[in-house]
A and B are shown apart, each in its own frame.
Chain A
Amino acid sequence: MKHLFLLFCSILFTASFAQKSEDLIPRDAVTVFSINNFTLLQKVSLDDLVKYEFMAEVQSELFDGSTSGKTLKDAGIDFDQKMNIFYGRGKEYEISGFTFGIKNKADLFQVFDDFQLADSKIPGTETYTSFFNSLIIKGNSALLIRVEPLAERVNELTDSIWYANGNESPWADAYEGMEEDLKEESEKEVLQEEIYDEMPEATQPKTEDEFPVAEENPLQKNYYEMRDSVEMVLQIGFLDAICKDLFVSNLNLKAVDSRFAEQLTHPSEAIFFLDNSRNLQQSKKIWYLETMFPTLYTDLKELYTGNVLLGDLLLNNNSIEFKMESRYGEKLGSIYEKLNHSKFDKKVLNYIHKDNTAYFTYNINLREAYEQAFKVIMPILTNEKNTQMSTSVLALDLLNEFINKDALFGTYKGSMFGTFNGIKKVKTTKIEFTYDDETFEYQEKEVKAEEDMPIFTLGFSTERNDIPLKVLQHLSRLTSRFQNKGTYWVFENAILNAAPLYMIANEGLFIFTNDQDLAENHVNGYGKEALAKKDAAKAAKSGSMYANINLAQAIDRFPRDFFTPKQNEILDAMRGKTGSMELTSSKTTKEKTSFDLLYSYGGTYDNAGKYLLDLMNSLYIISK
């Protein structure tokens, strides 16, 4: 009995401490998608899965012909564990990959058939490799990872070794005599081919595409060979360090970031984690700040500390809900809080037609945010003891004193709205050729034509309509393209050099639109044809941001030419889906702002997993 009890305890102990897939996410991961309700994806074919950008970019070459006709269910994956997709960029390397549970290793290697068993340096783990990818299995969980040393670091080390060995610049030959050659070329206009033909083959110059010639001594490496070696050594070193962290020290993202650990406990279908503060620190552009203004860099880092975006994806009966929480530190939070301390301008609702396809309202208080930002950021800038920075601080201080802030923030308070009403025919002209029957000589004739154009309206709240009107009056003296039509202004051929832009200044709003009907017939708003009270109330109640899209209409009406082929692919994937998408936001506090994106779809759906992946992919692309 005693032995049985001991055995039971040891099994329980092992099970409790066995690493699950979420325990294998490296702490360097900055962005993580974690799918909890993985069973949803059982029906998704692997071929479809690898087409998504978030998968394709991670490890697309892993999935070659071996995935053909197979679903995730056939891949030996354990659907009771979470699947976590991660990406991260540090100071020295970039990581990407995913972690998952394993149910049947034999099935798994039917799909991961390119992987070869390698020596494992960590006891209790199995390592498989394929090109630059490593698959590390511990118990029933696996980590598929690619570690790529940053090019700058590789170059820096290679250069250092190269020059320390007494070598000259690897590009010295390329530049040698270049000036002379250029001079000669401009003097004698003789085709290079002619010279080459006359030269003996051995002395003919090398072509651009020629590979560097290997040295006679195989131990003597040329620059590129040395660079490859450096890269490989770094890669192995970084991977070893990551594995030691994960499998020996149990240092993973979940262990080091309580926010992520807490997020993982949510009973949602999937969770999302993006550490913005680390994104800022690792940004390529920040190095200048770090080098030139170290104090400022430290202070800014502090300002951004705690800046994370956390998300939950919930799959309901007829909707998918994405709840996001933007968290930040106290100082940054104080600016956001002031920025969002604004009363909703109900007048904008009168300019949103009830049948519109998509609209948004954005409600902020720029004046208060400016004052708070000045209070928070100026001491940080002043702290930096540097001539350049001191001059900038002085300039900012003087501008703050001299600028008429009442006029500036009275003209643009920060609140705005926008609508998209799909595509309408707009009147343009075209040139036609008319042919004379006698001679077939032709003449050009301008005739009226119609073209499709997306119809939009963008307006902002203002206390000083007189200021933009002043600008328009002056512009109308300069060109006849600006015309005062009494209740509105028109700027001819402003949009794509073909269609007019209308401007309406009314009731504390200044509106830009290419909707002729709005300008000519509804300068005071749509009245009874405006947004329904129920919808208007939702927009008014939301925090700083509200958006509503009639998905079926919007996607069908989106002008394809304005998007890249990849974006069009995503839109195509969304086509045929009915329902609406609504974005609401909470009141902003010093700690956080919450956003809720609700995608309600009508009717039934065949494959919830596909919906989930479509949405996740869109989020991935947006967050990249």
Chain B
Amino acid sequence: MCLFGRIPYFCFMNKLLIIFGLLISVSLSSCIEITDDITINADGSGLFKYTINLSESKVKVNSLLALDSIEGKKVPTLAEIESKIGEFKKILASKPGISNVKIEADFTNFIFKLTCNFSNVNTLQSAVKEVIKEISNEKNIAELEAVWLKWDGQKLERSIPDITIKKSKEFKTEDIEQLKKGKYTSISRFAKPIEKCSNPTGVISKNKLATMVQTNIYSLTKNPKLLENTIYLFPNKN
């Protein structure tokens, strides 16, 4: 069982970004840092960035990539990973409302970055759902029914799909230690100043245009709501 598969939210994100999942699936108990960064412009369009940083565990990742299989599942070669990245990029770029899809893969430090522009948050969500369905060949993925991004021009609701966390009980002690070192950072940026955010651990940048929530991966497995956040912008002056 890969670490990614054990974490409910990651499980979802694994489907969300399956190619990154391919790599993460070999990372087992590696120390991992994830950053998601969404910028919403005044017209509702925006920029989505998603980064996975495995550089702290590159020895471990390299050693796992050297194996043929883990728990009966084939470990992909670097060439296969590159090919899947290309496939993912092509499918995502073909979705309506999505443009400028870029994926940077650094196989030396094992850092993977996805960036794309979207016309509105709904198109981003739809595109992601469709890509997942196409790549996973599954038509009915319950997790995809959830809405994890909602934007009405004044407030942004970010949530995590309601997925069972029973898998997290299977973690071994050494996995837990690594998960505690892992970090998830969620950033939301806006064109207008932020008034407040609902997540008690959320912080607002000095320029008031961004908010950030950070948590360790282990805590996230225990409570997927840790990253939930509703961000309110100052109302427009009439």
User: A426 within 8 Å of B by Cβ?
Assistant: yes
Q: How near does chain A come to B10, taking the closest CB pair, in angstroms?
A: 18
Q: Are A499 and B59 in contact (CB under 8 A)?
A: yes
Given A439-B209, A439-B210, residue A431 in contact with residue B55 (CB < 8 A): yes
Name the B residues within 8 Å of A430 (CB-CB). Answer: 55-56, 58, 109
* Chain B contacts to A: CB under 8 angstroms: 28-29, 33, 35, 51, 53, 55-60, 62-64, 66-67, 69-71, 108-109, 111, 174, 185, 187, 189, 205-207, 209-212
Which chain A residues (60-90) contact chain B, with CB distance < 8 Å? Answer: none
Given A433-B33, A435-B212, A442-B35, residue A451 in contact with residue B66 (CB < 8 A): no
Given A437-B206, A438-B205, A565-B71, residue A497 in contact with residue B58 (CB < 8 A): yes
Q: Are B62 and A497 in contact (CB under 8 A)?
A: yes
Interface pairs (23), CB distance under 8 Å: A426-B59, A431-B53, A431-B111, A433-B53, A435-B212, A438-B206, A438-B207, A439-B207, A439-B210, A440-B210, A440-B211, A442-B35, A449-B56, A451-B59, A452-B59, A452-B60, A495-B59, A496-B62, A496-B63, A496-B66, A498-B59, A562-B67, A564-B69
Name the B residues within 8 Å of A498 (CB-CB). Answer: 58-59, 62
Across the A-B interface, the 7 shortest Cβ-Cβ residue pairs: A496-B62, A440-B210, A431-B55, A430-B55, A430-B56, A451-B59, A498-B59
User: A230 within 8 Å of B by Cβ?
Assistant: no
Q: How many residues of A contact B (CB 8 A)?
A: 28
User: A226 within 8 Å of B by Cβ?
Assistant: no
> Which residue of the partner chain, among A433, A444, A496, contacts B59 with CB atoms under 8 Å?
A496
Bound state CA distance, A326 and B58, in angstroms?
A: 43
A548-571 near B? 1/0 per residue, CB < 8 Å:
000000000001111011000000
Q: Are B71 and A453 in contact (CB under 8 A)?
A: no
Bound state CA distance, A453 and B62, in angstroms?
A: 12
Q: Are A440 and B59 in contact (CB under 8 A)?
A: no
Q: Are A497 and B108 in contact (CB under 8 A)?
A: yes
* Identity of the chain B residue whose Cβ is nearest the Cβ of A437 in the assembled complex: B206
Name the A residues within 8 Å of B70 (CB-CB). Answer: 564
Q: How near does chain B come to A277, taking the closest CB pair, in angstroms?
A: 30
Name the A residues within 8 Å of B59 (CB-CB). Answer: 426, 428, 451-453, 495-496, 498-499
Given A453-B59, A498-B58, residue A440 in contact with residue B189 (CB < 8 A): yes
Name the A residues within 8 Å of B69 (CB-CB). Answer: 564
Q: How near does chain A come to B197, taking the closest CB pair, in angstroms?
A: 13
* Chain A contacts to B: CB under 8 angstroms: 426, 428-431, 433, 435, 437-440, 442, 444, 449, 451-453, 495-499, 559-562, 564-565
Bound state CA distance, A426 and B207, in angstroms?
A: 41
Consensus secondary structure, chain B interface? mixed
Bound state CA distance, A496 and B62, in angstroms?
A: 5
Bound state CA distance, A439 and B194, in angstroms?
A: 12
Q: How near does chain A come to B198, taking the closest CB pair, in angstroms?
A: 18
Q: How near does chain B come to A516, taking the closest CB pair, in angstroms?
A: 15
Known interface pairs A433-B185, A451-B60, A565-B71; 4 further A-B residue pairs with C-beta atoms within 8 A, sorted by A's residue number: A431-B55, A439-B209, A440-B211, A453-B59
Q: Considering residues B53, B62, B63, which has the most beta carbons from chain A within 10 angstroms of its beta carbon? A: B63
Given A431-B53, A451-B60, residue A440 in contact with residue B66 (CB < 8 A): no
Q: Considering residues B51, B56, B211, which has the most beta carbons from chain A within 10 angstroms of its beta carbon? A: B56
Q: How near does chain A come to B91, taking the closest CB pair, in angstroms?
A: 15
Q: How near does chain B come to A124, taking the closest CB pair, in angstroms?
A: 46
Bound state CA distance, A495 and B58, in angstroms?
A: 11
Q: Are B62 and A440 in contact (CB under 8 A)?
A: no
Name the B residues within 8 Å of A499 (CB-CB). Answer: 59
Name the A residues within 8 Å of B205 (CB-CB). Answer: 437-440
* Identity of the chain B residue whose Cβ is nearest the Cβ of A451 in the assembled complex: B59
Bound state CA distance, A496 and B35, in angstroms?
A: 25
Q: How near does chain A come to B156, taking the closest CB pair, in angstroms?
A: 15
Bound state CA distance, A31 and B3, in angstroms?
A: 39
Bound state CA distance, A478 and B33, in angstroms?
A: 36
Name the A residues within 8 Å of B111 (CB-CB). Answer: 431, 444
* Identity of the chain A residue whose Cβ is nearest the Cβ of B66 in the assembled complex: A496
Name the B residues within 8 Å of A559 (CB-CB). Answer: 63
Bound state CA distance, A622 and B134, in angstroms?
A: 43
Bound state CA distance, A430 and B59, in angstroms?
A: 11
Name the B residues within 8 Å of A560 (CB-CB). Answer: 174
* Identity of the chain B residue whose Cβ is nearest the Cβ of A453 in the assembled complex: B59
Bound state CA distance, A444 and B70, in angstroms?
A: 31
Name the B residues within 8 Å of A437 (CB-CB). Answer: 205-206
Q: How near does chain B come to A564, taking the closest CB pair, in angstroms?
A: 8
Q: How near does chain B come to A420, taking the closest CB pair, in angstroms?
A: 15
Given A433-B35, A437-B205, residue A561 in contact with residue B64 (CB < 8 A): yes
Q: Considering residues A435, A452, A497, A564, which has the most beta carbons from chain B within 10 angstroms of its beta carbon? A: A497
* Identity of the chain B residue whose Cβ is nearest the Cβ of A442 in the assembled complex: B35
Q: How near does chain B come to A194, taking the closest CB pair, in angstroms?
A: 14
Q: How near does chain A come to B24, taking the closest CB pair, in angstroms?
A: 14
Name the A residues within 8 Å of B187 (CB-CB). Answer: 440
Bound state CA distance, A564 and B35, in angstroms?
A: 31
* Identity of the chain B residue whose Cβ is nearest the Cβ of A560 in the assembled complex: B174
Q: How near does chain B come to A192, taking the closest CB pair, in angstroms?
A: 13
Bound state CA distance, A395 and B187, in angstroms?
A: 68
Q: How near does chain A come to B35, taking the closest CB pair, in angstroms?
A: 6
Bound state CA distance, A497 and B62, in angstroms?
A: 7
Name the B residues within 8 Å of A449 (CB-CB). Answer: 55-56
Bound state CA distance, A449 and B55, in angstroms?
A: 9
Name the B residues within 8 Å of A438 (CB-CB). Answer: 205-207
Bound state CA distance, A586 and B33, in angstroms?
A: 54
Name the B residues within 8 Å of A495 (CB-CB). Answer: 59
Q: How near does chain A come to B34, taking the closest CB pair, in angstroms?
A: 11
Name the B residues within 8 Å of A435 (CB-CB). Answer: 185, 212
Bound state CA distance, A452 and B60, in angstroms?
A: 8
Bound state CA distance, A449 and B29, in angstroms?
A: 17
* Identity of the chain A residue whose Cβ is nearest the Cβ of B214 in the assembled complex: A435
